[in-house]
Amino acid sequence: MPTDTAMAFHAEGVTKVYADGLRANDALDLRIAPGEVFGLLGPNGAGKSTLVKQIIGLLKPTEGTLRIGEHDLVAHPEIARQLCSYLPQAQMPIDSFKAAEAIELTGRIRGGDRATVRARTDALLEALDITQWRDELGMKLSGGVKRLVGFAMATVLPGRLVILDEPTNDVDPLRRRLLWEQVRRLGDEGCAVMLVTHNVLEAEKSVDRLAVIMDGKIVAEGTPSALKAADRGQLRLQVMLSPGVETPESPEWVRHPVRVGNNLVATIDEDAASAGIDWAVGLMGQGTAEEYALGATTLEDVYIRLTGHASANGEDEA
Ligand SMILES: Nc1ncnc2c1ncn2[C@@H]1O[C@H](COP(=O)(O)OP(=O)(O)OP(=O)(O)O)[C@@H](O)[C@H]1O
Ligand SMILES: [Mg+2]
Ordered by start, the domain boundaries in the chain are 5-225, 232-296
- CB neighbours of residue 263 within 10 Å: 12
What's the CATH number of domain 5-225, 3.40.50.880, 3.30.590.20, 3.40.50.300, 3.50.50.60? 3.40.50.300
Mean pLDDT lowest among 29-33, 129-133, 168-172, 178-182: 168-172
DSSP strands (E only) in 189-246: 192-197, 209-214, 217-222, 234-241
State yes or no: pLDDT of 313 exceeds 60: no
Number of H helices, E strands in the chain: 10, 14
What is the whole-number distance in angstroms between the Cα of residue 180 and the centre of ligand 1? 26
pLDDT at 285 over 50: yes
Residue 297 Cβ contacting ligand 1 at under 6 Å: no
Q: Could you tell me the pTM of the whole model?
A: 0.87
Whether 21 lines ligand 1, by a CB cut-off of 6 Å, is no
Average pLDDT in the chain: 91
Q: Which residue has the higher pLDDT, 34 or 202?
A: 34
Question: Inter-axis angle of helices 114-127 and 173-188, to 10 degrees?
Answer: 140
Q: What is the pLDDT of residues 147-198, one digit of tens each?
A: 999 999 999 999 999 999 999 988 999 999 999 999 999 999 999 999 998 8
What lies within 8 Å, CB to CB, of 65 at 6+ separation is 10, 11, 12, 13, 14, 72, 74
Contact 32 CB / ligand 1 (< 6 Å): no
Q: Is 44 in the pocket of ligand 1 (CB under 6 A)?
A: yes
Q: Does 48 contact ligand 1 (Cβ within 6 A)?
A: yes
Whose CA is closest to 186, among 167, 222, 160, 168?
A: 160
Per-residue pLDDT tens over the stretch 4-23: 678 999 999 999 999 999 99
> How many angstroms separate the alpha carbon of residue 263 from the centre of ligand 2?
26
Which residue's alpha carbon is at the smallest distance from atom 18 of ligand 1?
47
